[in-house]
Structure formats: structure tokens, C-alpha cells
Amino acid sequence: MATLADVARRAGVSPATASRIINGSSKPVTDALRERVLAAVEELQYVPNAHAQLLARSHRTAIGVIVHDVSDPYFAEITRGLQRVATAHGRLVIICNSYRDPVKELEYVELLRAHQVAAIVLAGSGYHDEEFTKALDGKLRVYEGTGGRVAVIGRHEHAGDAVVPDNEMGGYLLASHLYELGHEHIGVIAGPKQLTTTTDRLAGLRRAAREHGRKLPPTRVAYADFDRASGADAAAALLDTEPGLTALAALNDSMAIGALSLLRTRGIAVPERVSVIGFDDMPIARDVTPALTTVRLPLVDMGARAMTLALDELADRTAPRIEQVGAELVLRDSTAAPPA
């Protein structure tokens, strides 16, 4: 691996001048030397050692991102927004998948800290786990104490910059839509119990139920894993225990699509016999059949805003900025009035 000293030796100059030329320093350098050095760089295919650079100038530039799983469309969209802003600022993004494992999440915070990232963006949902939450908050505080920035997406215990989707309102819109269509027997396919996202969306559903004089009995709420297969299983379980359901409300689109697939294999018409509604409005929601009625979150925009918060160097650290983003009902073809 060619080093700066190699370049300097070949060009017959000192490492200092070579460094100045390569980095375009403000210090003046003769053109003759400049040419010799650049020629040497080309011949040796020299690339500066990023780690040595980072050690020398204490100028942290990379950004760390922790998501649950990039291959999940929800996070893929958010990540796209994060990347767009980051590359626009010439920043490298390091993506870490926690796969919803709190332990891994803690490990990744340490790893990113070790890599001297300028900021950490936490894009996953928060957990209902006192011990873990305290540990995570502690590690983030320590990181912030050393000058690092932190931005989170979603509701977390950590006090700091955040982009918070209005999951509760989304859940409220979702359930209200079903009640207004006349549904009385609604099955809910919820996400993992320990995620704040699940809790918040469910809370919105419950508020809508109260306002419409209904209830959401526990037997009509099945907890699944936010993915397609798990959503299909939950739909099956709900229909088996409560055959009279006329609507299935899934707390994300993947599970709604799983429910659609199960209903199709059972020959149950959607929306004629059973309505299905999702959450998030992933790109594919338009392309399933029937096209999925859902609650839209501006995922790409949320990622972009979180990265913007993380990159803002001169923000007041004592006054955390909370950016609320709204949820919006998207009417398509998978919901209708219940059968008479």
C-alpha cells in the first residue's frame, strides 16, 4: 500500500509539501512541485489512509445509522432519505442492522463510537424495556458528552433531537375510517408488543374506539412481528377464533399484505366480505390487489429530516428539537362497508 512518504520520496519533496498539495492546503506551493507530486500520486495510485487522516485531523465526518433491517421496505425508504441528505453533504454513511435485537443495538452504538462518527441516527422504534432503555440512553449521553450528535426517529426515552411520526393519530385515522364504514367486528394485527410504535398506533385505535362507543377486546388483538409471514399467521388466528370479523387492521403494510394473501388462499373476498387496512404506505401498497387502503407516513422525508438534524453542527444542544410529522389516510380499494 503506497503511503504519503512514498509519494514524497518519488517526487523528491518532503511529506509535508506532498500533504499540502494533495489536500489543497491554503499554504502556497510552487507549480513545478505540484506537478511532480500529482504525477507521483497517479503513478503509485496513492489513496490517503482514511484512518490515519481521521487520527491526525480530529475532524469526524462519517455518520452512523442504526436501523432494524434495511431490506425491510419501511427502513429502506427511511434510509433512502438519510442517504440523500448525507451524500449531498459529502458524508459517508455506515448502516447497521440491529434486527430488533436490543443487545445488538447497544453494541452498535459502541462500535459507531469507536469509529468516531460525527453523529448517530437511531431509526428503529423504541422499546418497552426499562433496563435496556436506560443503558441505551446512558451510552448516547456519553457519546453526546464527547461532542457527538444524536438524532432519533420515533419515540425513544433519549432526550434530544427527534423526528416523531404521529403514530397515535395514524392509528386513530385508521380505526375511525373502519368505524365510519360501519364495521363493528374489527380484528387488529399488531406489531411486537415491546415496541413503542406498536403501543402508540394501538393507542390511536383505542381512542377511535372510545369515541365511537366501541371496544377493542384482547381476543381481537393479535401480536405479530411486522413482517408478511407473521401477519398472515396472525390473520389466520384471528379469523379462527372470531369468524365474525368484517375487518382486519394491520399496524404495518407488510402484515396487511400477509393478511391479504391469507384471505386469498381461503377464498375470502376483499373488501366484500372482509376489509383490510395497513399502515406506512410502502411503495408496493398500490400494487397489491386490491390496492391497499393505508395510513401514509412520509418515510423518505422523515429520513431526510433526521439526517438534517444530525448534520446541524451549531444547534443548541440544550434545547432538543422535536419534529412532528403527520399521518394521512390513503383511500384505496381494500376497505368497504361490511356485508349486510
Partner DNA sequence: GTTTCTCTCGTACACGTGTTCGAATAGGCT
Partner DNA sequence: AGCCTATTCGAACACGTGTACGAGAGAAAC
* Residue among 109 and 221 whose Cβ is closer to DNA: 109
User: Taking contact as CB under 7 A, which single stretch among the options 48-56, 61-69, 198-206, 224-232 is the one that binds DNA?
Assistant: 48-56
Would strands 247-250 and 275-277 be described as parallel, antiparallel, or unpaired?
Answer: parallel
Q: How far is the CB of 285 from DNA (least distance, A)?
A: 47
* Residue among 83 and 176 whose Cβ is closer to its own copies: 83
25 scored as a contact of DNA (CB under 7 A): yes
Spell out the residues 6+ positions from residue 314 whose beta carbon is closer than 8 angstroms to its own.
none
Residue 147 φ/ψ region, left for φ over 0, alpha for ψ in the -120 to 50 degree band, beta for the rest: left
Q: Which residue, among 338, 282, 319, has the nearest Cα to 71 in the 3D structure?
A: 282
Whole-number Å distance between alpha carbons of 86 and 310: 10
Q: How far is the CB of 236 from its own copies (least distance, A)?
A: 16
Chain-centre distance for alpha carbon 246: 32
When CB distances are held under 5 to 8 angstroms depending on the partner's kind, the choice from its own copies, DNA, none that residue 265 binds is none
Place of cell 393479535: 222
User: Taking contact as CB under 7 A, which single stretch among the options 10-18, 155-163, 179-187, 212-220 is the one that binds DNA?
Assistant: 10-18
What is the size of the binding site for DNA (CB under 7 A)? 30
Site residues (vs its own copies, CB under 8 A): 1-2, 45, 47-55, 69-71, 73, 76-77, 79-80, 83, 87, 92-95, 97, 110-111, 113-116, 139, 142, 146-147, 228, 257, 260-261, 283-284, 286-290
Q: Which residue, among 297, 277, 291, has the nearest Cα to 170 in the 3D structure?
A: 297
Chain-centre distance for alpha carbon 182: 34
56 scored as a contact of DNA (CB under 7 A): yes
48 scored as a contact of DNA (CB under 7 A): yes
Give the helix/strand (H/E) hosting 143: helix 130-145
Q: Which of 44, 53, 107, 223 binds DNA (CB under 7 A)?
A: 53
The total of other beta-carbon atoms located within 10 Å of residue 322's CB is 11
Q: How far is the CB of 95 from DNA (least distance, A)?
A: 24
Whole-number Å distance between alpha carbons of 112 and 180: 48
* Residue among 83 and 294 whose Cβ is closer to its own copies: 83
Instruction: Give bridge partners of residue 149 from the DSSP assignment.
Output: 119
Residues at the contact surface with DNA, assessed by CB under 7 A: 1, 3-5, 12-17, 19-20, 22-23, 25, 27-30, 32-33, 46, 48-49, 52-53, 55-58
